[in-house]
Amino acid sequence: MAGMDASSQTPFSARLAAIAADTEALLGRLLADEPLASETARPKRLMDAMRHAVLGGGKRLRPFLVVESATLLGAGGEGAALAGAALELVHCYSLVHDDLPAMDNDDLRRGRPTVHKAFDDATAILAGDALLTLAFDVAARPEVHADPAVRNAVVLELARAAGLGGMVGGQMFDLAAEGRFDDGKPLKLSEEEILRLQAMKTGALLRFACRAGALLGQADADTYARIDRFGVVIGQAFQIADDLLDVESDTATLGKAAGKDAAAGKGTLVSILGIEGARKRLSALVDDADAALAPFGAKADTLRATAHFIAERKT
């Protein structure tokens, strides 16, 4: 959103840009050089690498979803912003580790050298470790919610979304599908297996973003289920849009390597459904997202616009 003429912004894009700017400022404060009272020191090289990984780029979609889901239920504010920042720290840690030579071996991220290229492998590993642990520090802070039970629920959900049954487990399935183990041959995944992998690797954190807002807003069971359904659907939509971009876009536009999924032999819904079939599925998912939000009326217009943005994004 950087550099966009304010006069050309839609209400949605202006809101997205504003929350991204607020998130950037908050992350900058969380990643300051000065140690907290409970800390002995913050090593400068580590802090520089963490800031390189986190600051200066990205749409901040995940924090946006936390804030907007919470706002829908009257719980926007500092707590939602902190929960969103915690989620963004987890997301950025995962990118640092994904980019390492042992994982995806990428040189570019957001149009800049990846952390291990700008620094070195060991520093990148430690920067990722520090971002992950800082995320739980932030999520557990009293400012997130006055009720300790709500904070505990947010921390628990974040741990599960990020961990072995969520993002990290999905990454392991992804490596196996590439043929990293055993005989070295890529696996031919079924549509069901691809959906499971993607729901974990990519969808879990997006789903958590919505669930976190519902938790902070202390939603009743029906409201929570609807917001959760919205999170599941946009997670699927995000991955299909990402797979389409990998096929149709270029490195300069994406700010990272394009065409890597096909080169690695990865199974995607695009590879099973074809480009047109994937686009139809994407459109159906946006309709599902709209349906999940129907009872909220105009109050959910920003979240509805988010689903369309995810499906139509170019980067």
Report the pLDDT averaged over residues 262-270.
71
The topology (CATH level 3) of 10-312 is Farnesyl Diphosphate Synthase (1.10.600)
Q: 249 vs 284, which has greater pLDDT?
A: 284
Tokens, residue 11: 């209400």
Identify the pLDDT of residue 251.
56
Report the pLDDT averaged over residues 49-55.
98
Identify the pLDDT of residue 8.
59
Task: Tell me the percentage of the chain whose pLDDT exceeds 90.
Answer: 86
Report the pLDDT averaged over residues 70-82.
97
**Separation between Cα atoms, residue 9 and residue 168, nearest integer Å:** 36
Q: pLDDT at residue 295 above 80?
A: yes
Give the dihedral of Cα atoms 178, 184, 190, 194; nearest 10 deg: -20
Residues 6+ apart with CB under 8 A from 221: none
Identify the pLDDT of residue 183.
86
Identify the pLDDT of residue 124.
98
Q: Per-residue pLDDT tens for 57-68?
A: 789 999 999 999
Identify the pLDDT of residue 267.
78
Q: pLDDT at residue 264 above 90?
A: no
Identify the pLDDT of residue 142.
98
Q: pLDDT at residue 229 above 70?
A: yes
Identify the pLDDT of residue 215.
98
Q: pLDDT at residue 258 above 70?
A: no
Where does the pLDDT of residue 3 fall: very low under 50, low under 70, confident under 90, or very high at 90 and above?
A: very low
Where does the pLDDT of residue 147 fall: very low under 50, low under 70, confident under 90, or very high at 90 and above?
A: very high
Cβ atoms of 113 and 255 closer than 8 Å: no
Mean confidence (pLDDT) of the chain: 93
Q: pLDDT at residue 77 above 90?
A: yes
Where does the pLDDT of residue 262 fall: very low under 50, low under 70, confident under 90, or very high at 90 and above?
A: low
Where does the pLDDT of residue 255 fall: very low under 50, low under 70, confident under 90, or very high at 90 and above?
A: low
Q: pLDDT at residue 70 above 70?
A: yes
Q: Per-residue pLDDT tens for 7-25?
A: 557 899 999 999 999 999 9
Q: pLDDT at residue 127 above 70?
A: yes
Identify the pLDDT of residue 247.
87
Cα–Cα distances (Å) from 165 to 62, 173, 178, 286, in that order, read 19, 11, 19, 26
Q: How many residues does the chain have?
A: 315
Identify the pLDDT of residue 261.
57
Q: pLDDT at residue 293 above 90?
A: yes
Q: Give the domain ranges of the chain.
A: 10-312
Q: pLDDT at residue 44 above 90?
A: yes
Confidence (pTM): 0.92
